[in-house]
Amino acid sequence: MPGHKIFEGNPHFLTMTVVDWIDLFTRKEYCLEIIDALQYCQEAKGLIIHGYVIMPSHLHLILSTKDDKKLSDVLRDFKQFTSRKIIRLIQEIPESRREWLLERFSLAAKKNPKIRHYQLWQAGNHPKVIHSIPFMLQKLEYLHQNPVKAMIVTEPTHYVFSSAAAYGGQDSLLEIDLLI
The full DSSP string for 10-59 is S-EEEEEEBGGG---TTSHHHHHHHHHHHHHHHHHH-EEEEEEEE-SSEE
What CATH number matches the domain at 2-130, 3.30.565.10, 3.30.70.1350, 3.30.70.1290, 3.50.50.60?
A: 3.30.70.1290
Q: Where are the domains of the chain?
A: 2-130
Instruction: Tell me how far apart the alpha carbons of residues 130 and 103 are, in angstroms, rounded to a whole number.
Output: 37
Give, for all 180 residues of the chain, the pLDDT tens digit: 334 677 777 899 999 999 999 999 999 999 999 999 999 999 999 999 999 999 999 999 999 999 889 999 999 999 999 999 999 999 999 999 999 999 999 999 999 888 889 999 999 999 999 999 899 999 999 999 999 999 999 999 999 999 999 999 999 999 999 987
Q: What is the pTM of this model?
A: 0.94
Give residue 50's identity as a one-letter amino acid code: H
